[in-house]
Amino acid sequence: MNLNTRPFFIASAFCISAFLVACSSSSTSDPSDESDLGSQPSPTIDQVPSIGDTSIGKVYTAGDDNRTLYTLTSVDANTFGCDPTCEANWPPLLTSVTQAGISGVFDIIGRDDSSTQWMLNGYPLYYYTGDAVAGDVTGEALGDRWFVARPIPVDSASNSEGEEISVASGSILAADGSRLDKDGFTLYFFANDVAGMSNCDEACTEIWPPLLADRGARAYGRYSLATRSNGMLQWAYDEMPLYLYAGDNAAGETNGDNVGGVWSVVMP
């Protein structure tokens, strides 16, 4: 894959859930479900969701109007937690496609009414009625359990030797909550880390910023989430935390490779 195209990098192996997944409904409501916004119809969308840009970075969208999609974080994978009252404000992303041909991060789940709904990484997808146009993300963090559906912020590119390396995709969450444009910047491993845990302290992160995960992020395939000492989430690949390097000033640079003998470019 070359740096100019940088298609969204997806781990190669993913087991598609069975079409008729049991609808384990632990449906609940909260004030964010019951806001007086009125309901909107749930159109049947047969195209795989696409990626759109918003003020809070890249998100998955669907439909002719490319409205933002959301997942509910208070449920387990392959289950629902949004009852009919909830769905009046969080319409499900329905589809008539079958299991055949679906691969990667997307799948479908059977509903109690015999309809089917799109899922991302095993979690059902919804719209929010408070969003009026493409790019709206007014449902983000509502009830502290609804979050935008995001692609994993990792891509692949070729270095100067033609080897495949991992790079950041899109804008990246900074520790202060802002977003930085690091599209195409090289990602690194720290040899002193252990599986699932970063040993790069606050002083270290001034030079080696962690690839932070947004709230509501979902692990997928070989990508997991490590919790840092300050409670923030950091993306990891094969359980090893991912970092950027402050010495890289442009996409494609690999100035951090072998620094101190403990930093290395990620080669998936």
pLDDT in tens, 152-208: 999 999 998 999 999 999 999 999 999 999 999 999 999 999 999 999 999 999 999
The mean pLDDT value for 97-118 works out to 88
pLDDT at 43: 73
What average pLDDT does this structure show over 204-222? Answer: 95
Residue 51 Cα distances to 4, 60, 70, 170, angstroms: 17, 5, 13, 11
Q: Does the pLDDT value for residue 101 go beyond 90?
A: no
Query: In this prediction, what percent of the chain has a pLDDT beyond 70?
Result: 84
> What is the average pLDDT across 23-44?
49
pLDDT the model gives residue 17? 37
* SS3 labels along the chain: CCCCCCCECCCCCCCCCCCCCCCEEEEECCCCCCCCCCCCCCCECCCCCEEEEECCEEEEEECCCCEECEEECCCCCCEEEECHHHHCCCCECEECCCCCCCCCCEEEEECCCCCEEEEECCEECECCCCCCCCCCCCCCCHHHCEEECCCCCEEEEECCCCCEEEEECCEEECCCCCEEECCCCECEEECCCECCECCCCHHHHCCCCECEECCCCCCECCEEEEECCCCCEEEEECCEECECCCCCCCCCCCCCCCHHHCEEECCC
Residue 2 pLDDT > 50: no
Task: Look up residue 34 and give its two tokens.
Answer: 């019951």
Confidence of residue 41 (pLDDT cuts 50, 70, 90): low
pLDDT band for 25, please (50, 70, 90 cuts): very low
Q: Does the pLDDT value for residue 54 go beyond 80?
A: yes
* Residue 149 CB coordination number (10 Å): 25
Mean pLDDT of 104-116: 92
Q: What pLDDT is attached to residue 33?
A: 52
Residue 27: the pLDDT is 42
Q: From CA 246, how far away is CA 206, in angstroms rounded?
A: 8
Tell me what pLDDT residue 99 has: 75
Indicate the burial class of 7 (C-beta count within 10 angstroms; 0-12, 13-18, 19 or more). Answer: exposed
